[in-house]
Every structure is written in structure tokens, then in C-alpha cells.
Structure 1
Amino acid sequence: MSDSYPEARRFFDRHILQTMAERGGSFGHTETFFPIRTFTNEWLPKEMARGLLRDLAQRGYCQFRCGLFTEDGEVAGAGYGITNVGLAYYRELMPAPDN
């Protein structure tokens, strides 16, 4: 396998986990879930984001939930949220701050 595959995987893992960790919501980091469109942008289309999220879920770094509701009690559909294991992995992926 190419040396670039692990680097690319860490890059995408960090993008997705950073989005979840830094947006965290009022429910707390591990109780806030995001729709797939939260992770998409000009270089990460919906189909690719879905695959990456499923991979992260299989590895235990995030989880998928259906039947979500907003803070106002409105139906919000389904989404992905970070786990405690995912938060720890995210911290590993982040560069150490320069002091």
C-alpha cells in the first residue's frame, strides 16, 4: 500500500472528527449528531463523506443515529456523532501547539 494512503486517511478522519468535536452542541460532544451535509464541501462530496463516516463508525470513532430531534422538539432525521474513543483519536490527530 502506498505511503500516501495512511496520510490521506488521517486527513479525512481529522476533517470529520474536528467538525464534530469543535461544533459540539448544547447536548455535549458525544450526544450531538450531524447530518452528512455538515461534512461536505467543494473537495468532499456527499458520497465520499458518507463512506468516510461509515468507516469511522465501524472503527468506533463515531456513531450513527436515526430519529433525531432538534432542541425545539422538531424531527431532525439522522446523523453521525463522535464517541469518546473518537475524541481521543481526534486529540492524537491534532498537531501539538507551539509554545
Structure 2
Amino acid sequence: VKDALIKAMMYDDNPGVRKEAMHALCNIPFDEKISDAMIYVLQNDKNSGLRIQAINCLNEKNDVKRLSDPNIKNVLKNRMQEDDNSYIKLRAKTMLTKLES
């Protein structure tokens, strides 16, 4: 079931389907696969609402050790600098500041 939800969240054409899949994944115990899928959405989804949901879910569910991964930090830095949504920029900056303290 988890793999089907991840696939739907990452690749379904319908943003409503992606949103519901993400909501379900945020409510089960996180693992590396789910975390990587959230990072993918944060980095690639055109829908700012889904990027917001992904960054919020990562912030709430992931442990500091996982978020300290250099690849995740690079994605957060990229979102902080290049995202067209000011909330995502602020959230990425806040998460990076928390990780670096």
C-alpha cells in the first residue's frame, strides 16, 4: 500500500490524488522511502500547495539526523532561493536555521 501511495503522490496527473496520497503518507510512520518521496515532491511538483504540504510534513515527521543529510540540505537551500512561493522560502530557511543550530 505504501508503495502505491508513494507512486500516486509523485506521479499522478491529478493534484487531488497526489494531495490525498501525501496526506495518508504523512499519517504513517516515516521511513527513508517516504522521506525521499516528499523531497521529490518538494523539489519537482508544480503545485505550490503540494510543495507546502511536503515541506510541512518533512518538518513535522522527520528526525534531525535524516534532515541533516547534505542532499536534503541542498534541496532546502534551493527552495529557499528559487521557489516562487514565499511561504516555502521561509519554511526552508527556518528548517535550515534549525538544522544548523
TM-score band, normalised by the shorter chain?
0.3 to 0.5
State TM-score, norm by structure 2. 0.33
State TM-score, norm by structure 1. 0.33
Which structure has the highest helix share of the two?
Answer: 2
Which of the pair has the greater relative contact order for Cα pairs under 8 Å at 6+ separation? 1
Which structure has the highest strand share of the two?
Answer: 1
